[in-house]
Amino acid sequence: MSHAFLQNAWYLLIGILLVGYAILDGFDLGVGVLSPFIAKRDEERRALVRAIGPFWDGNEVWLLTAGGALFAAFPHVYATVFSGFYLALMLVLYALILRAVSFEFGHRVESAKWRRAWDWVFFAGSLIPALLTGVAVGNVMRGVPLDARMEFAGDFFTLLNPFALVVGLAGLAMFVMQGATYLTVKTNGDLARRARNAGIWAWTALVVLLIVAGIIVVADSPERLDNYTRNPIAFAVPVAALVLLALTRTSLRKGATGRSFLLSSLSIAAIMAIWGVANYPYLLPARNFAAYGLTIFNASASQKSLQTMFIIALVGMPLVVAYTAYVYHIFRGKVRAHEEHY
């Protein structure tokens, strides 16, 4: 296996891990963001927690694995991203920690105030990662200021540019849509109906924000379109995303629950693929000087390291997919209001 092949393979593998995270942790973050708005009674709030209870911690592993793969395959990118995005990443980390605590502590005391307080922690711990991961994606696509040593040359406020904020809101809407379609599968009655309506609203917001983001890219970062103009076949990716989004909306309107969730998941994969095609071969473009940008070729580990990890991934990934599918199979079906905490 040549070095170039391995560099491209790891670009694809990390992309797959990020897609897996966006689809799987996307639905449980979306459920958390939706929780104060669609759950009207304590029993319904508990049902939302039970709907994601067996899965949420496993879903977060996809992001941890993607981070580990980035560290091992492209260490220069890992160092630059984690130093430049340090404050934002710490906010995400603390939010996820508090969110995990809310699962375990929220039902320990028979007090309405106690439960409501932890319900709001659950909401905030879902909202912050959903929003800030999208902001990070927006910055990675737009590019950040880098110096000749591959180090971040901006500050926290550099990351809060209009394009990144629009992408952050789009990511939030995408996760809410995913969470809503998931709840239509896992719940019944009024709760499922409210989730369906929320999914339609989130779908609308997502489409509008994607259009706005596309306009900003054309005006502000046209170089992100180079891969599409050089190879028109690449336009199949955004076309597929549009078709899948349209089918998701149709399925939501018809109340086809399982199909809505499947199509929402495929839409997320297609949207993430748009980003992957647009950025290739860059992992972190430089906003100030293109030559400083980090690519899969100038920021990768050695050929031996990439090859060893690639073999391990070929063995390990099927096992991960298999046990993940098994867990989802075991805990299939709808949750019921009278059940105990997960």
Model confidence over 176-188: pLDDT tens digits? 999 999 999 999 9
Tell me whether residue 247 is in a domain: no
CA 332-14-52 angle, 5° bins: 25
pLDDT value of position 53? 86
**Does the structure show a pLDDT above 70 at 29?**
yes
Confidence of residue 111 (pLDDT cuts 50, 70, 90): confident
Tell me whether residue 10 is in a domain: yes
Half-sphere exposure of 275 (CA within 13 A, CB side): 28
Total structural domains within the chain = 1
Residue 71 CA to residue 65 CA, distance in Å, equals 10
Phi, psi at 107, each rounded to 5°: -110, 10
Task: Give me 225's structure tokens.
Answer: 């379109």
pLDDT value of position 68? 92
Tell me whether residue 338 is in a domain: no
pLDDT value of position 289? 84
Contact 217, 159 (CB under 8 A): no
Task: Give me 54's structure tokens.
Answer: 């067996």
Domain holding 15, by residue range, is 3-210+281-330
Tell me whether residue 72 is in a domain: yes
Residue 291 CA to residue 293 CA, distance in Å, equals 5
Confidence of residue 58 (pLDDT cuts 50, 70, 90): confident
pLDDT value of position 338? 56
Tell me whether residue 120 is in a domain: yes
Mean pLDDT (the chain, rounded): 92
Residue 324 CA to residue 65 CA, distance in Å, equals 14
| Cα dihedral 18, 21, 22, 25 in deg (nearest 10) | -160
Tell me whether residue 148 is in a domain: yes
Tell me whether residue 264 is in a domain: no
pLDDT value of position 104? 83
Tell me whether residue 64 is in a domain: yes
**Does the structure show a pLDDT above 60 at 18?**
yes
